[in-house]
């Protein structure tokens, strides 16, 4: 069922097989249905500084550092990049708005998938651009027994955010594995681009408003329309991967 996509990846990368040992997960929009809150917060925060960042465009920037997103919009809207102080103010405003919104629920199907992965002896690895202090507690609350701190890549672990491959390369390093020993699960175009650039078989889950091509054009090897759909197909996919 998924053999053609796998064979295309192997041929392109020059590997004989995918010796699956770990699954590298993005967080927002993959494990939690939180991207709509991020998009809303970005839209409202930028408007308060007389700049326009639509909620849909926010999905296109997902995975970038906050400073990078602010500077891209500032350069377009005002013709110059924001100062360091202004970046801090805008990002704080965005964070305050985000934190005032209802807490995002876990993505349907995510915990089922994580349990299957863990129970089959594979290592779940978190690769997120987030640096929120409550990250580990939040993950342990909603996905108990799944993630370990030593297998988490956050904003504090890397110099460059997605679409740079560094976050996923760091995920491989923490897991002690090679690119053909993992798969990436991503929902954002920049995240897909990062996973592909790291040489990893990259699965896109389109949980937002963007067209499928926004993910496929960045090189996604497979695409599912929800985490539940990926969970429902995981056993077959895993058997094809190993």
Residue 133 has pLDDT above 70, yes or no: no
- Which stretch of DSSP H or E encloses residue 9? helix 3-13
- Report d(CA 183, CA 177) in Å as an integer: 11
Low-confidence winner among 80-94, 122-136, 185-199 (lowest mean pLDDT): 122-136
- Closest Cα to residue 162, out of 189, 134, 125? 189
What's the mean per-residue pLDDT of the chain? 93
Residue 137 has pLDDT above 90, yes or no: no
Low-confidence winner among 6-20, 53-67, 84-98, 171-185 (lowest mean pLDDT): 53-67
> What pTM did the predictor assign?
0.91
- Report d(CA 99, CA 92) in Å as an integer: 10
Confidence label for 76 from pLDDT (cuts 50, 70 and 90) = very high
Tokens representing residue 239 in the block: 């058997």
- Report d(CA 4, CA 74) in Å as an integer: 43
Quick one: average pLDDT of 131-135?
Answer: 67
- Which stretch of DSSP H or E encloses residue 141? helix 135-142
Q: Within the chain, how many helices (H) and strands (E) appear?
A: 11, 6
Break the chain down into helix, strand, coil percent, rounded to 5: 55, 10, 35
More confident residue, 172 or 34: 172
What is the model's pLDDT at position 129? 82
- Report d(CA 52, CA 43) in Å as an integer: 7
Residue 136 has pLDDT above 80, yes or no: no
Could you tell me the residue ranges of all domains in the chain? 3-34+107-241, 35-100
* 18-49 confidence digits (pLDDT tens): 999 999 999 999 999 999 999 999 999 999 99
Quick one: average pLDDT of 4-26?
Answer: 95
* 216-239 confidence digits (pLDDT tens): 999 999 999 999 999 999 999 999
**CB < 8 Å & 24+ apart, contacts of 8-11:** 8/221, 9/201, 9/221, 10/180
Quick one: average pLDDT of 120-147?
Answer: 86
- Report d(CA 73, CA 81) in Å as an integer: 8
Quick one: average pLDDT of 152-165?
Answer: 88
Same CATH fold, 35-100 and 3-34+107-241? Answer: no
What is the model's pLDDT at position 242? 81
Residue 154 has pLDDT above 90, yes or no: no
Q: What percent of the chain shows pLDDT beyond 90?
A: 79
Quick one: average pLDDT of 143-157?
Answer: 90
Task: Please answer whether residues 6 and 241 qualify as being in contact, where contact means their C-beta atoms are separated by less than 8 angstroms.
Answer: yes
Quick one: average pLDDT of 205-223?
Answer: 95
User: 35-100 has which CATH code?
Assistant: 1.10.150.240
Residue ranges of E strands in the chain: 22-25, 123-127, 152-153, 182-186, 201-205, 222-224
Q: How many CB atoms lie within 10 A of CB 201?
A: 25
- Closest Cα to residue 98, out of 57, 155, 39? 39
Residue ranges of E strands in 87-146: 123-127
CATH of 3-34+107-241, one of 3.40.50.1000, 3.40.50.150, 3.40.1400.10, 3.40.50.300: 3.40.50.1000
């Amino acid at each position: 069922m998924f053999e053609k996509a796998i064979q295309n990846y192997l041929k392109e990368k020059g590997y004989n097989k995918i010796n699956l040992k770990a699954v590298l997960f993005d967080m927002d929009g993959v494990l939690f249905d939180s991207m709509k809150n991020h998009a809303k917060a970005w839209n409202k925060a930028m408007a308060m500084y007389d700049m326009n960042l639509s909620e849909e465009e926010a999905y296109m920037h997902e995975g970038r550092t906050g400073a990078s997103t602010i500077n891209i919009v500032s350069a377009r809207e005002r013709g110059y990049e924001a100062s360091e102080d202004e970046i801090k103010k805008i990002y704080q405003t965005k964070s305050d708005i985000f934190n005032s919104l209802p807490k995002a629920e876990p993505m349907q199907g995510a915990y089922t998938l994580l349990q299957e992965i863990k129970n089959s002896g594979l290592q779940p690895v978190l690769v997120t651009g987030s640096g929120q202090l409550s990250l580990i507690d939040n993950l342990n609350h909603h996905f108990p027994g799944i993630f370990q701190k030593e297998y988490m890549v956050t904003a504090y672990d890397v110099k460059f955010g997605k679409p740079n491959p560094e976050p996923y390369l760091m995920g491989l390093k923490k897991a002690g594995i090679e690119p053909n020993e993992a798969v990436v699960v991503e929902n954002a175009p920049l995240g897909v681009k990062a996973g592909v650039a790291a040489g990893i078989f990259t699965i896109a889950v389109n949980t937002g408003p963007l067209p499928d091509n926004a993910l496929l054009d960045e090189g996604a090897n497979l695409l599912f329309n929800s985490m539940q759909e990926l969970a429902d197909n995981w056993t077959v996919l895993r058997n094809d991967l190993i």
